Amino acid sequence: MGSRRKGRILAFQALYAWGITGKHKGLGDLLEFPWLDAEQHKTLGDTADFSRLLITGAVEHIKTIDGMIRQHLAHWDFSRLNLVDLALLRLSIYELLFQTAVPPSVVIDEAVDISKEYGSDDSYRFINGVLDGVRKTIQEGTHG
């Protein structure tokens, strides 16, 4: 597994934890990845920096990102999203909007692959559909 994939997984896990603990607590120690053991911490290297960039960027732009999610939910209420899917969408939409050096197809493929590992049986279809809609909106220049 590449370091970018590991960084995305760490960022997804942190955003998931942030969603569970409540946004009012801020990121605090989440940026130190407290769920990893000492051996895992030793092998992080640049992966941790990439992950922290994704986490802080997603949280910094959370209103814009959540607005994009709401805009692309067909017949689904935002409050009913499971937290795994929500964390993965937040991470991926941050990348699509603000990390434009990464091709959208790479961002979407990574999100789909991660959702197959961590999400429900149908998460990958849902994630793919929402992110493809966001990608089209960005390409058309019709986002806020």
∠ CA(17), CA(20), CA(25), 5° rounding?
A: 80
pTM for the full predicted model: 0.90
Please name each of the domains of the chain with its CATH number. Answer: 3-140 (1.10.940.10)
Instruction: Note the pLDDT tens digit of each residue in 34-57.
Output: 788 777 877 777 788 899 999 999
Judged against a pLDDT cut of 90, whether residue 22 lies above it is answered with no
* Distance between CA atoms of residues 44 and 42, nearest Å: 6
Secondary-structure percent of the chain, ordered helix, strand, coil, rounded to 5: 75, 0, 25
Roughly what angle, to the nearest 10 degrees, separates helices 123-140 and 104-118? Answer: 160
* Distance between CA atoms of residues 58 and 95, nearest Å: 8
Confidence at 77, pLDDT banded by 50, 70, 90 = confident
Instruction: Note the pLDDT tens digit of each residue in 84-105.
Output: 999 999 999 999 999 999 999 9
